[in-house]
Amino acid sequence: MGRRRLLVLAGAVVVAAGGVTSWLVLRPEAAATTPVVVPVTVGAQRQTVSASGTVAPAQRADLNFAVDGEVTEVLVAPGDQVAAGQELAEVDDTLLTAQLAAAESELDAAQDRAEDADGDAAADAAVLSAESAVAAAQDAVDQATLTATIAGTVAAVDLAVGDRVTTSPQGGGEEEDPAQFTIVSAKTFVVEARVATTDVDQVKAGLAVDVMPTGVTEPVAGTVATVGLVAEADESGAATFPVTIAITGERDDLYAGTSATVSIVVAEREDVLSVPSMALHTEGSDTFVYKMVGGERVRTDVEVGAAFGPQTEILSGLAEGDEVEVAVNTPENGGGGKLPEGDTVFGPGGGKVPDGGELVVKPGGGGR
């Protein structure tokens, strides 16, 4: 079998009745323009907003002890799976337990004084204060054991037995101390993406999204979860808005930190008559295509509607099954003729070249 070649339209993704068809770009130095005959199709068309982002866990919990003390036990390690409420580590609670006992003793004394005072307001207030102190001391004892707030995978542990943890600010700065434990959700992910200011008005929570993460061969379904209200400058200085996309279902083939491209479906219509936008020509106020009639190219005026990426809706002038010329990039200024069996032509009428390698290409011009 001869060298496989690709005949392609420039940089597009077409969604039509036959499904998704990729149109790729050949290297400019090896490409020349050749008209290819393609059919007029009827099918579903989408308008999408494209963006890029990074895969991240759907949930993340950064946990720290809320009480001071020396670490006596660390019960998990990075990579462990934990359930919500599972114990992660403990600190020495000797002092905390003593403080609880003292608070309980003070409560007993306050209650005795209140009974003797027979309804004295100050004595009743002292009981309430003592009850509050007991509750706070009990919370401190409970917090001597740190527990997981979500189910997932332990991503990091920054703590060891013998370490002393403190809730006091360190160094007077405003930066928070690093998390002692980090837990991330397992198999559920989001994509943190950035959308241009020119597109963000079209993006709403609940819209369907096709996500293509690095290393995955098929698009992954997702849904717009949130759209940020405040723009931020990207690396080039352009203003963009943060958009969070929730990946549908559980996935074991995705990894946090990998990049992803997303196509947010902002509009979708069924039964749209369309042609590749590259088939259209203009002259003054007229828009026309070159329609194939009896093997000859005939200029045919058309009325166009909405544009769907590389496809344009045809309102009048053509019918489903008509064939039109589209100028595409081909290798080595080859024009038409034959390609070896097994070569692939990408486009609405594309597919494998049949036995004999005859390609439906009309040599010669094709544009005005």
Q: Provide the residue-wise pLDDT of the chain in tens; the chain has 368 residues.
A: 443 333 333 333 333 333 333 333 333 444 566 789 999 999 988 888 999 999 999 999 999 999 999 999 999 999 999 999 999 999 999 999 999 999 999 999 999 999 888 878 999 999 999 999 999 999 999 999 999 999 999 999 999 999 999 986 655 445 567 899 999 998 999 999 999 999 999 999 999 999 999 989 899 999 999 999 999 887 788 899 999 999 999 998 899 999 999 999 998 889 999 999 999 999 999 999 999 999 899 999 999 998 887 899 999 999 999 999 998 766 554 444 433 333 333 333 343 333 333 333 333 333 33
pTM recorded for the entire structure: 0.62
Contact 81, 186 (CB under 8 A): yes
In angstroms, rounded to a whole number, what is the distance separating the alpha carbons of residues 368 and 364?
A: 12
Q: Which domains does the chain have, with CATH numbers?
A: 6-40+280-352 (2.40.420), 52-58+185-268 (2.40.30.170), 66-161 (no CATH)
Whole-number pLDDT of residue 39: 94
Whole-number pLDDT of residue 349: 39
